[in-house]
């Protein structure tokens, strides 16, 4: 169950990569219209992105799911997408009604138009599936070693081949079963769109609740890019920009909440802060409120009360659902390419229906949130920003450079040896740690974290706001180049005594000795010591190196001497399967990896 949940979280994170392209697409498409800049080339550039969303999702999800975000997975996803769509186009049956009483060029044009329209419906689902196939295939097969006569096609080169083969199988299913699938998709879309207020309310509530887990991106992608059809454009967002007058129901309701409601909550938290802390709190809450109002990025605000007052967050989720219903009942149709903030509201004002009604509805939501939050904070004595218990004078956080802050983050997260994966979505660091209990939450909050979420024993999400992706990059650079020490309580260092003791036994293996004789200097010794700490040559099935880590498949993981490995320069050990493990390595040990692989190849 936990592995499936973790997989869904990874998919939610991966979806943010292609979605991040949409703001520039919406900007180009809108600015190029005749009522603004009137530059057709700019509008065409924006439309090109919306017209190829399936391809963008394929490449983005593939790279996002792949280990180390390797670009080979993006190429594999592209191969899978092209193979699937072209094969489906060939296999797709043409209804007799499409070509009735048509002959020659007219018939060909009708067939081409039908296939183009049907493939447009299929584009995003196929893109998502192609990306998932490519990303998981990369993680599973990128280290596979083939026999020598096929070795050129091994490793990463094998992944696009697998994606193409799986894509062909997927095309066979979609091509022959398309009439059934199309009816199923149309029935589902009509059921959702026909659910009216109940469907919109459920979507709004679930959207806010799923933010806790980061799975709301999956729900949003279904509503914004798949549900409904307007001249080949599918999904609420795409239909809105294609001119569908009924589109916008799954977007309009966010505007009153994000532009008005949550800023009202920020004002309530400011007014209820302790007088001596009000000035210090003002900067934080002003920043959070403006971010929500201008851009529609709300997670930093929501995490200030999500866990502190779950009842308050439940009311917020219900208010979001009600906003969906109210905006729809009032005939308001608003859209966005990024989120429900002022920038998107102004940019798409002329495309919207009854957009000025947002002002009175938004004002009512501002008042509602302000009153509810202020009453609940005071009556329930909630420790919102500025009302925390006084635990004594804390040292003011130093103003750090980007590098200094990244180093501080590494230490607060348990040290470089505790980090296995460092990724980010729009507002969160998404981490895999050796031990997520080894972090210093107080230090993380001093560095700007607004919330911390644990998933299992290794998963961790740190809510930072829109700077999350930049911070993640700085942390990766810090681990790679500076590797600060661990926070207290995290074991990082050990001696190589056990490995040294085992080296003579391993070196006595004639095959190992023969290969080691061809490797002069310390590299061979390093490799022999590694081999001993990993349980000997018979225990290792495959070894690969990429981006600061050794990827190992072994017969028995319990044969590893973890203390000896750490003493040899292994910074952390992460088990990724029943017989697979990743070793995070320091620079000093990298030279021993290739000799180690040669030792394994010895027969």
Q: Count CB neighbours of 267 within 10 A.
A: 18
Asked whether the beta carbons of 503 and 528 are under 8 A apart, the reply is yes
For residue 237, give every residue at least 6 positions away whose Cβ sits within 8 Å of its Cβ, in sequence order, or none. Answer: 22, 224, 225, 247, 251, 335, 336, 337
CA 107/CA 110 separation, integer angstroms: 5
CA-to-CA separations, 475 to 403, 419, 563, in angstroms, rounded: 8, 10, 26
Q: Where are the beta strands (DSSP E) in 356-510?
A: 419-424, 428-433, 451-455, 459-463
Conformation bin of residue 178: beta by default, left when phi > 0, alpha when psi is -120 to 50? alpha
376 catalytic, yes or no? no
Using CA atoms in the order 183, 186, 190, 192, what is the torsion angle rounded to 10 degrees? Answer: 110
3-class DSSP state of 449? coil
Q: How far is CA 199 from the centre of its chain?
A: 26
Identify the active-site residue in 266, 376, 425, 546: 425
With beta carbons less than 8 A apart as the criterion, state whether 62 and 131 touch. yes
Q: What is the dihedral of CA 530, 531, 532, 533, to 10 degrees?
A: 50
Find the DSSP H helices in 430-467. Answer: 441-446
Token pair, residue 89, equals: 């186009």
Cβ proximity of 351 and 278 under 8 Å: no
Question: What would the DSSP string read from start to end of 529-550?
Answer: HHHHHTT-GGGEEEEEEETTEE
In angstroms, the CA 133 to CA 62 distance is: 7
Which structure tokens are listed for 347?
């940019």
As a whole number of angstroms, the distance between CA 534 and CA 532 comes to 5
Q: Is 172 helix (H, G, I), strand (E, B) or coil?
A: helix
Active-site residues: which are they?
Answer: 425
């Amino acid at each position: 169950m936990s592995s499936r949940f973790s997989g869904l979280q990874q998919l939610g994170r991966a979806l943010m990569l292609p979605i991040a392209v949409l703001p520039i697409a919406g900007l180009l498409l809108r600015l190029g219209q005749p009522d603004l800049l009137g530059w057709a080339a700019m509008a065409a550039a924006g439309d090109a992105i919306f017209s190829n969303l399936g391809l963008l999702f394929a490449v983005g999800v593939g790279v996002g799911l792949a280990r180390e975000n390797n670009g080979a997975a993006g190429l594999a996803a592209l191969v899978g997408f092209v193979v699937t769509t072209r094969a489906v186009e060939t296999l797709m049956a043409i209804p007799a009604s499409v070509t009735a009483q048509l002959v020659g060029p007219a018939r060909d044009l009708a067939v081409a138009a039908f296939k183009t329209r049907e493939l447009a419906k299929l584009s995003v689902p196929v893109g998502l599936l192609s990306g998932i196939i490519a990303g998981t295939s990369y993680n599973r097969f990128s280290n596979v070693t083939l026999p020598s006569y096929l070795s050129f096609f091994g490793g990463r080169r094998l992944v696009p081949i697998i994606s193409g083969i799986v894509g062909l199988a997927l095309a066979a299913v979609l091509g022959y079963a398309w009439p059934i699938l199309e009816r199923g998709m149309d029935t589902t879309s009509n059921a959702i769109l026909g659910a009216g207020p109940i469907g919109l309310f459920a979507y709004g509530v679930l959207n806010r609740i799923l933010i806790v887990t980061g799975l709301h991106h999956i729900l949003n992608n279904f509503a914004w890019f798949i549900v409904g059809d307007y001249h080949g454009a599918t999904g609420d967002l795409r239909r809105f920009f294609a001119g569908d007058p009924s589109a916008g129901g799954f977007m309009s309701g966010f505007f009153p909440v994000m532009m008005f409601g949550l800023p009202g909550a920020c004002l309530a938290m400011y007014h209820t802060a302790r007088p001596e802390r009000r000035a210090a709190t003002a900067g934080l809450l002003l920043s959070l409120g403006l971010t929500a109002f201008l851009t529609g990025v709300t997670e930093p605000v929501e995490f200030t009360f999500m866990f502190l007052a779950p009842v308050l967050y439940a009311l917020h989720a219900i208010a979001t659902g009600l906003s969906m219903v109210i905006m729809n009942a009032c005939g308001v149709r608003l859209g966005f390419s990024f989120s429900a903030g002022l920038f998107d509201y102004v940019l798409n004002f002329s495309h919207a229906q009854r957009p000025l009604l947002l002002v009175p509805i938004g004002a009512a939501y501002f008042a509602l949130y302000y009153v509810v939050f202020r009453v609940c904070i005071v009556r329930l004595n909630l420790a919102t920003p500025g009302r925390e218990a006084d635990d004594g004078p804390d040292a003011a956080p130093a103003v750090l450079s980007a590098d200094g802050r990244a180093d501080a983050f590494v230490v607060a997260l348990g040290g470089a040896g505790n980090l296995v994966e460092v990724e980010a979505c729009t507002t969160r660091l998404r981490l895999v740690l050796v031990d997520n209990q080894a972090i210093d939450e107080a230090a993380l909050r001093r560095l700007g974290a607004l919330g911390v979420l644990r998933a299992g024993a290794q998963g961790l999400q740190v809510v930072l706001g829109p700077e999350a992706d930049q911070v993640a990059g700085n942390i990766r650079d810090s681990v790679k180049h500076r590797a600060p020490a661990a926070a207290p309580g995290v074991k990082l260092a050990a001696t190589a005594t056990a490995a040294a003791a085992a080296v003579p036994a391993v070196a006595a293996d004639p095959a190992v000795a023969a290969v080691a004789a061809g490797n002069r200097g310390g590299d061979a010794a390093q490799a022999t010591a590694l081999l001993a700490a990993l349980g000997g040559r018979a225990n290792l099935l495959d070894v690969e190196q990429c981006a600061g880590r050794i990827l190992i498949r072994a017969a028995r993981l319990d044969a590893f001497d973890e203390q000896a490995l750490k003493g040899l320069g292994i910074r952390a050990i992460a088990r990724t399967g029943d017989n697979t493990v990743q070793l995070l390595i320091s620079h000093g040990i990298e030279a021993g990896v290739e000799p180690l692989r040669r030792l394994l190849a010895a027969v």
